Chain A
Amino acid sequence: MTTAIKQLFHWMPFLFGIGFIAPLIAQMLQYWQVAAPVGLSPIQFGLLIGAPWGLYATLRGRWL
């Protein structure tokens, strides 16, 4: 149980990228009426940014 929770927290930045940053980007695009590039839907674009960013933060330990 403890190990599972520690793993969950270890991967939390990645989950945060998918769970929060991706829809935030999508909704910001919609709010400002900006089209996602190369024909992607807003959420597809959000996931394209949010998931790798979260993975980067998980592996490197920093968001920037």
Chain B
Amino acid sequence: MNELSTLQPGVALAPDQGEAPAIALGAGDGLDAHTRRTLLQQERAIARKYTSDPRKMWPYTAVTLGCFALWLAFWPLAMLDILPLWLGFVASTVFAAGGYITSHEAMHSNIGRPGTKARFWNEAVGQVATIILIFPFSMARMMHLHHHYYTNDPDKDPDYTDAAPGKYSAWYKTWLNRQPGVDGSIHHYKRILERIGTPAAKAALRDTMILQLFSMAFFFTMAWSGYAMEVALLWWLPRHLGLSYIRFWLSWAPHHPRTGTGRYDNTRVFRTWIGHHLSMGMQYHVVHHLYPEVPNHMTRYAYREMKPLLEARGVDCSPLKD
């Protein structure tokens, strides 16, 4: 394989080194086919190094199932006044937002590939992780993969409704899109699934209906039995806060301003003010869209290695120093 230094236009092939190419290569779309192919090969070689190994993904399973078990235990503990409600509320909010990350790995089969023994755990994680969000795995997976296929397409990207001109309006939009009469968030997903109309889409719609009806029946029964505050603080409010957090950090922040639809411009590299972990590693979302098989916790390392290749493709990596 060629070394990057012989391929990266305008860097190592500078005329002052006496190695200028016969025909100058432009950056980004200006690359010739040979360069593009070689860059892609190098990119893939790096991605392979960081591709998820299901044998090493067990922490995702352990955390998901452990947090779900804890969340279930919160109910009797809170009802018996053993667990302070504020503590249950804080933990449930973390579980609600964090659950999407583990579910997201399951959506891309990173915890267990189809046909392997680990597949059971992949599906278990997916099914359990977003229950607090009242967001069934079948719908989440289908809509997320759709988002990958049609990123930033105003008509086909299920997450396009998160578009907003600035961060404050983006936070507002996370709430607005969940309103009953607004075509955003899960309402938008339902409409897309109806349009797709395949058996899998119908199954996802059915799962959504069942989970929504079950959760509402649970809410109403518990509330009228004297446990409305427990429901509010262990499920209802954590769900809303979790969804807003996810929508902002996982959808708006890495895709803003949602103008690019190409492989290298449908995400953006950005600097986060709340730190790597609280922004869930979304500064490196470009790596995820290029190689979804790289798990979330490895995208940072893959990005650092891929950075010269991404810059050669025209990705603006300047917001991040490393």
Contacts and interface: CB of A to CB of B under 8 A. Distances in A.
B83 to A, nearest CB: 16
Nearest to A5: B209
Contacts of A5: 209
A24 interface: yes
Main secondary structure of the interface of B (DSSP, over half): helix
A57 B216 CA distance: 16
Nearest to B224: A23
- Range class of the B interface residue count: 10 to 19
Main secondary structure of the interface of A (DSSP, over half): helix
A8 B212 CA distance: 11
Contacts of A31: 229
A31 B224 CA distance: 15
B209 A24 contact: no
Contacts, number: 55
B181 A62 contact: yes
B182 interface: yes
B209 A12 contact: no
B231 interface: yes
B94 interface: no
Interface of A: 5, 8-9, 12-13, 15-16, 19-20, 22-24, 26-28, 31, 57-58, 60-63
30 contacts: A5-B209, A8-B213, A12-B216, A13-B180, A15-B216, A19-B220, A19-B223, A19-B224, A20-B219, A20-B228, A20-B231, A22-B223, A23-B223, A23-B224, A23-B228, A24-B228, A24-B229, A27-B223, A27-B226, A27-B229, A31-B229, A57-B179, A57-B180, A58-B180, A61-B180, A62-B176, A62-B179, A62-B181, A62-B182, A63-B180
Given A24-B232, A27-B223, 13 more contacts: A8-B213, A9-B209, A12-B216, A13-B180, A15-B216, A20-B220, A23-B228, A24-B228, A60-B181, A61-B181, A61-B182, A62-B181, A62-B182
